[in-house]
């Protein structure tokens, strides 16, 4: 089947999995709420990313970009876990995975990520 393995509501394509899947949107909503951007949860993820980064101070944009790609990477790994190992994580477990990975990035030298990690 070419249906999305995470929601079974659309064709599985990169444009769907990372920003548009129901599970992806739920993860983004959880993160945006924790970052105090809850008023923008119904907006598509890609335009939202661009809009949020424009209002952030310049020194925080790189950090937000990194978090954005970390979320995408985590969602892609979840897709692969479901596809190849039949492992399914809950949204809360995925959020914790993102936090854990962000903490590893911080410990390995990306100190600027600390400013967002404490909010998640």
Residue 88 has pLDDT above 90, yes or no: yes
The maximal CA–CA distance of the chain, rounded, in angstroms, is 44
Residue with tokens 């995408």, as numbered in its chain: 72
Please give the average per-residue pLDDT across 1-9, as a whole number: 87
Residue 40 has pLDDT above 60, yes or no: no
Residue 15 has pLDDT above 80, yes or no: no
The pTM of the full predicted model, rounded to 2 decimals, is 0.84
Q: 41-68: string of b/e by CB count within 10 Å (b at 16+)?
A: eeeebeebbeebbeeeeeeeeebbebbb
pLDDT at 87: 96
Q: 77-111: string of b/e by CB count within 10 Å (b at 16+)?
A: ebbeebeeeeeebeeeebbebbbebbeebbeeeee
């Amino acid at each position: 089947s070419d249906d999305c393995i995470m929601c079974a509501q659309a064709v599985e394509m990169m444009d769907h999995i990372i920003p548009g899947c129901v599970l992806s949107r739920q993860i983004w909503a959880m993160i945006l709420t924790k970052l105090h951007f809850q008023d923008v949860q119904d907006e598509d993820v890609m335009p939202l990313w661009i809009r949020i980064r424009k209002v952030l101070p310049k020194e925080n944009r790189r950090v937000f970009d990194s978090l954005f790609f970390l979320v995408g990477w985590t969602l892609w790994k979840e897709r692969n876990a479901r596809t190849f190992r039949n492992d399914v994580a809950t949204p809360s477990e995925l959020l914790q995975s993102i936090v854990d990975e962000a903490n590893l990035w911080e410990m390995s030298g990306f100190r600027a990520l600390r400013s967002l990690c404490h909010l998640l």
